[in-house]
A = this chain, B = another copy of it.
Amino acid sequence: MDGSLGLERTERQGEVLDAALALLVEGRERFTMESVARRASCSKETLYKWFDDRDGLLTAVVQWQASKVRPGAYDAANLTASALRASLEDFAVTWLGVVSGPPSIALNRAAAAHAGGGKAELGQILLSEGRFAIGARVKPLLEAAREAGLLSFDDSETAFRTLFGLVARDVQIRLLLGDRPAIDIAREAAKAADQFLTLYATPKPQKGPHP
- Partner among B27, B131, B179 whose Cβ is within 8 Å of the Cβ of A117: B27
Total interface residues on A, CB under 8 Å, equals 43
**Pairwise interchain contact B164-A108, C-beta atoms closer than 8 A:** no
| Interface residue? A205 (CB, 8 A) | no
| CB atoms of A116 and B124 under 8 A apart | no
| Structural contact, B112 and A176, CB atoms closer than 8 A | yes
Question: What B residues does A123 contact at CB under 8 A?
Answer: 176-179
Residues of B within 8 A of A131 (CB): 170, 173-174
Given contacts A109-B112, A116-B106, contact A165 B174 (CB under 8 A): no
17 contacts between A and B (CB under 8 A): A27-B117, A27-B118, A108-B112, A108-B176, A110-B116, A111-B177, A111-B178, A115-B176, A120-B177, A123-B177, A127-B177, A161-B169, A162-B169, A165-B169, A165-B170, A173-B173, A173-B176
Chain A residues at the B interface, C-beta cutoff of 8 Å: 27, 30, 106, 108-120, 122-124, 126-127, 131, 158, 161-162, 164-170, 172-174, 176-179, 191, 195, 198-199
